[in-house]
């Protein structure tokens, strides 16, 4: 079983969509094995998205990600990283396939409802950012 880090973003929690989005994961065979609701500080968002620090959208992205509550979660399943990316759809909701989370609930490329790790290696780092081993129910 593989693990991946998922974040339900502030645009989606503000619209009370956490449960609706969680059911997409579960209906598609992913298991939520850790989950917490929190609000990041700007400094924490800067750290989490550090790989994007040279991008034009970095500051705006970090402002947005610290602007409201998020739900951080560990998803587990066969090929969880790839499967979650399929369930989420393309980064820009306008390009995401019908039936994906971003197509159905994303509002823009920044307010795109969910984040998911893009590789198994990054998943490990991102999971460790939010969760201790004790909090993950393998």
User: Which residue ranges make up the site for ligand CMP (CB under 6 A)?
Assistant: 52, 57, 61, 91, 109-110, 112, 115
Q: For this structure, is 115 an active site residue?
A: yes
Least Å distance, CB 76 to ligand CMP, is 19
CB nearer to ligand CMP: give 39 or 91.
91
CB nearer to ligand CMP: give 107 or 137.
107
Contact of 3 with 123, CB cutoff 8 Å = yes
Contacts of 97 (CB under 8 A, 6+ apart): 89, 90, 103
Q: Left if phi > 0, otherwise alpha if psi is -120 to 50, otherwise beta: which for 29?
A: left
CB nearer to ligand CMP: give 62 or 137.
62
H/E element, 72: strand 70-77
Which residue among the candidates 7, 113, 115, 123 is catalytic per the annotation? 115
Catalytic residue numbers, as ranges:
115
């Amino acid at each position: 079983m593989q693990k991946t880090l998922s974040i339900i973003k502030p645009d989606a929690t503000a619209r009370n969509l956490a449960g609706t989005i969680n059911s997409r994961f579960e209906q598609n065979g992913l298991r939520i094995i850790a989950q917490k609701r929190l609000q990041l500080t700007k400094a924490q968002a800067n750290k989490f998205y550090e790989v994007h620090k040279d991008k034009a959208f970095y500051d705006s992205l970090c402002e947005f990600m610290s602007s409201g509550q998020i739900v951080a979660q560990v998803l587990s399943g066969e090929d969880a990283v790839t499967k979650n990316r399929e369930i989420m759809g393309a980064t820009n909701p306008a390009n995401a396939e019908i039936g994906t989370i971003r197509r159905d609930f994303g509002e823009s490329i920044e307010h795109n409802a969910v984040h998911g790790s893009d590789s198994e290696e990054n998943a490990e780092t991102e999971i460790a950012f939010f969760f201790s081993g004790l909090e993950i129910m393998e």
